[in-house]
Amino acid sequence: MPTIEIRGLCKRFGKKVVLDGLDLVVPQGRNTVVIGGSGTGKSVLIKCVVGLLRADEGEIRIDGEDVTKMDERELVRVRQKFGMLFQGAALFDSMNVGENVAFALRRLRRYPERQIQDVVEEKLAMVGLRDIQHLTPAELSGGMKKRVGLARAIASEPEILLYDEPTTGLDPIMADVINELIIRMRESLGVTSISITHDMASAYKIADSIAMLYKGKIIEVGTPAEIRHSASPVVSQFVEGRAVGPITAEHEEFVRFVRGSGESGERKEQ
Amino acid sequence: MAKEGNRIGLNAALEKFGTRVFGMLEDLGNIFVLLLQCVSWVFRPPSEFRNIVKQMEEVGIRSMPVVLVTATFTGMVIALQSWSGFQRFQATSLVGSVVALSITRELGPVFAGLMVSGRVGAAMAAELGTMKVTEQIDALVTLATNPVKYLVVPRVIAATVVLPILVVFADLVGILGGYFVAVYLLGANSYVYINKTYQYLEFKDIYTGLVKAAVFGFLIAIISCYNGFIAQGGAEGVGRATMRAVVASSMVVLISDYFMTSLMF
Ligand SMILES: Nc1ncnc2c1ncn2[C@@H]1O[C@H](COP(=O)(O)OP(=O)(O)OP(=O)(O)O)[C@@H](O)[C@H]1O
Ligand SMILES: [Mg+2]
């Protein structure tokens, strides 16, 4: 079972620095929850981990193998260890739900065709859905899409799972079903995972450790209890969801700065 | 002052032109890379056979009606035009040959190519572009599937194989359309018309047309897939990708047609 070790990870888009020397270690069989404000680069982080985005600097070791140095062919092999839930579910809209969930099973030929239906049914049941195999993604609600996306991610029984906001858009009861599922994946299957969430209740429940992403770096890692009582003003503002504090102070300054200089800045570009 | 202003205008125009040219060269390079990737993935398991068949159905059935209608009317209008022209020097007996040669050598493949650029090229770019901006292509990657192998290779193979088949039908209905106009509307002698159609039509005329069609199909598919792959930023981006795919593939059909013709005949 794998560990994920990230050292000095940098990712830029043009001039915009999103990740700036990020370090994070996820021990095997553990779930690390990454929290952080909107647009701080949480999704970018897990896309770098599966090699969807190329890191500019730093290393990402999966079981000791550095994915940032791999070519596409090696990446294909390493990616088979992964399952990923996308923030927007990313279901294939040309296929129905059953075909979506069965996709990796058919590609990898893990099961004979007649067993696939049973596996699909089982995985859908795990996310609290039944009898929807024949529906197309367009016919699902947002929360249902999310859960089908989750069923698709766990279908091939990966060793590592990356959940991008698994409970966003779900009602509280369904959110808790998904929390239980994430815990079960870890406890009974020993899956190593990174979850991204804004939902602190969910974070406290599912996390072995919580890491806070702020300004391109992980500024604090700790157990849920440690994070809840963090001494850092940034972390405590975030976890308590206060409107006033260091995060928003800067934001206000930023807004004022943009409003003041935005127009002349734009003109310069043209 | 005015001179100065002109110079700045000229510089800006040159700069814009330069960026355009660089952009085009970059696209060209990227399409070549995509092509190499296609070649490197095409024989690796798992086989995309079912996917290819599905795409062939899609390309063939989607475009068959438009291709047939355009080819019929093209044949008809050539008969009409050449009839009135050839009347001036009493050569109306050659109308059959003119229709057959122009349809099989040029107009069948070119019009089919243009129609397929519009229908299939647009559909491919829009579908792949939507998949790109909604992260479905990323999802493919995480599900142990290479998107070039799964999406591009079947489309390129299908279009390359199906376009010549479409053109066979286009040639047939085009020649029939010309026959119909000449014989039933203009009063040509049916026997002479058919005879002249056969007399000057060589097998080479037909198969060069089909080779052209295959090249068009290939180019349309790879250009449209490329444009879908580079789509960015939501519905607007997909729209732009689709437009670029249609414009680029239609132009490439006409340009490559010239060069192939100059090589073949
Ligand atoms: N493909 C891309 N090209 C350019 N910029 C990008 C790209 N992907 C992400 N970004 C930028 O990176 C930053 C981080 O994006 P990311 O999606 O990781 O945020 P996030 O932390 O997941 O936010 P949220 O909680 O809202 O999902 C954003 O400012 C975004 O503009
Ligand atoms: Mg995100």
Which ipTM value was assigned to this complex? 0.84
Burial class (CB in 10 A: 0-12, 13-18, 19+), B198: exposed
Query: What's the rounded Cα separation, in Å, for the pair B67 and B71?
Result: 6
All residues at 6 or more sequence positions from A111 whose CB lies less than 8 Å from its CB, including other chains: A105, A119
Bond into B46 cis (ω within 30): yes
Instruction: State whether residue B138 sits within 8 Å of chain A by CB.
Output: yes
Residues with CB under 6 A from ligand 1: A 13, 18, 36, 38-44, 87
- CATH 3.40.50.300 positions along chain A are 1-81+160-174+186-230
Mean pLDDT of A80-92: 90
- Tell me what pLDDT residue A263 has: 46
Instruction: State whether residue A77 sits within 8 Å of chain B by CB.
Output: no
| Cross-chain CB nearest to A108 (options B139, B141, B144) | B144
Which chain B positions have a beta carbon within 8 Å of A156's beta carbon? 143-144
Q: Between chain A and chain B, how many beta carbons pairs sit less than 8 Å apart?
A: 54
Q: Do A47 and B136 lie within an 8 Å CB cutoff?
A: no
Q: Do B139 and A94 lie within an 8 Å CB cutoff?
A: no
Q: Residue A261 above 60 pLDDT? A: no
- Angle separating helix axes A113-126 and A97-108, nearest 10 degrees: 130
Contact A234, A247 (CB under 8 A): yes
Query: What's the rounded Cα separation, in Å, for the pair B174 and B111?
Result: 11
Which chain B positions have a beta carbon within 8 Å of A94's beta carbon? 127
- Which residue has a Cα nearest atom 16 of ligand 1? A41
**List of chain B residues with pLDDT < 70:** 1-6
The reply to whether B171 and B89 lie within a common domain is yes
The reply to whether B16 and B56 lie within a common domain is no
Burial B217-246 (b: 16+ CB within 10 A, else e): bbbbbbbbbbbbbbbeeeeebbebbbebbb
Burial class (CB in 10 A: 0-12, 13-18, 19+), A73: exposed
Which chain B positions have a beta carbon within 8 Å of A72's beta carbon? 146
The reply to whether B142 and B235 lie within a common domain is yes
| Cross-chain CB nearest to A92 (options B136, B141, B142) | B136
Beta strands A31-35 and A192-196 are parallel
Backbone dihedral angles phi then psi of residue A216, each to the nearest 5 degrees: 80, 0
Whole domain around residue B36: which residue ranges?
A: 1-41
Average pLDDT along chain A: 85
Number of domains chain B is built from: 2
Q: Do B136 and A93 lie within an 8 Å CB cutoff?
A: yes
Instruction: State whether residue A42 sits within 8 Å of chain B by CB.
Output: no
Beta strands A16-26 and A192-196 are unpaired
- Tell me what pLDDT residue A250 has: 65
Query: What's the N-to-C CA distance of chain B in angstroms?
Result: 56
The reply to whether B15 and B140 lie within a common domain is no
The reply to whether B2 and B117 lie within a common domain is no
Contact A161, A153 (CB under 8 A): yes
Q: Which residue has the tokens 């935005």?
A: A262
Which chain A positions have a beta carbon within 8 Å of B136's beta carbon? 90-93
* pLDDT tens-digit readout, B135-159: 999 999 998 888 998 999 999 999 9
Longest distance between any two alpha carbons in chain A, whole Å: 65
Please report which confidence band the pLDDT of residue A265 belongs to, taking 50, 70 and 90 as the band edges. Answer: very low
Q: Do A92 and B134 lie within an 8 Å CB cutoff?
A: no
The reply to whether B201 and B177 lie within a common domain is yes
Query: What's the rounded Cα separation, in Å, for the pair B130 and B124?
Result: 10
The reply to whether B29 and B71 lie within a common domain is no
**Superfamily of domain covering A1-81+160-174+186-230:** P-loop containing nucleotide triphosphate hydrolases (3.40.50.300)
The reply to whether B92 and B216 lie within a common domain is yes
Asked which of A122-126, A206-210, B23-27, B206-210 is least confident by mean pLDDT, the reply is B23-27
Three-class DSSP category at A180: helix
CA distances in angstroms from B11 to A94, B1, B2, B191, listed in the order given: 48, 15, 14, 66
All residues at 6 or more sequence positions from A170 whose CB lies less than 8 Å from its CB, including other chains: A143, A146, A147, A178
All residues at 6 or more sequence positions from A69 whose CB lies less than 8 Å from its CB, including other chains: A59
The residue in chain A having the minimum alpha-carbon distance to the alpha carbon of residue B148 is A72
The reply to whether B90 and B133 lie within a common domain is yes
